[in-house]
Amino acid sequence: MTEDKVTQDMQRPNDELLQLVSFTIGDEEFGVDILKVQEINRMVEVTRVPNSPPYIEGVINLRGKVIPIVDLRTRFSIPKKEWGKDTRIIVIELESKVVGFIVDAVREVLRIPQNITEPPPHMIAGIDAEYITAIGKLKDRMIILLDLECILGQGAWNQLQDVA
């Protein structure tokens, strides 16, 4: 699809636009619905919680509220790496619960027409399709749109509640 085609599609009034925050983990680019994002913070010290699952990095104190922090690298079985100057915590509200997700870097806020997305294949970038809502096909890249509720399925919600 050409960039002109994407621009034309974005200008059609009847096409639904998806507003996303895009971020990277390793070499892959992901996106989440901007309406679920409360804020994006620089990496801060995370307090480990004993006996928590490996993908729960710990908790942080965010303006007096204890927030559980999930490392998406670990959740997706991507090898860990040192946090750098671009590492961020994306604070998300899901089902009236607040959770932070560690990502390698936040890339941008973008609007894409829904009609340039397609259902995910069974597995992409080593991540099960159950965690993915769609793949956004832009001119020079693809964005994996994540289903955060699924990433934090019922078992994970219960574990997060035990942590926070």
pLDDT digits (tens, 9 = 90+) for 108-123: 999 999 888 888 776 6
| CATH code where residue 90 lies | 2.40.50.180
Question: Closest Cα partner for 31 from 59, 72, 1?
Answer: 72
Query: 132 forms bridges with which residues in the sheet?
Result: 146
Which residues constitute the domain of residue 91? 3-163
Confidence of residue 163 (pLDDT cuts 50, 70, 90): low
> How would you classify residue 126: left for phi > 0, otherwise alpha for psi between -120 and 50, otherwise beta?
left
If one counts the domains in the chain, the total is: 1
What backbone phi and psi angles, to 5 degrees, belong to 64?
85, 0
Q: In Å, how far are 49, 53, 90, 134 from 127, measured between CA atoms?
A: 26, 18, 19, 13
104 and 23 in contact (C-beta within 8 Å)? yes
131 and 146 in contact (C-beta within 8 Å)? yes
In percent, the amount of the chain with pLDDT more than 70 equals 79
Q: In Å, how far are 6, 83, 93, 131, 136 from 25, measured between CA atoms?
A: 25, 11, 20, 14, 16
pLDDT of residue 122: 67
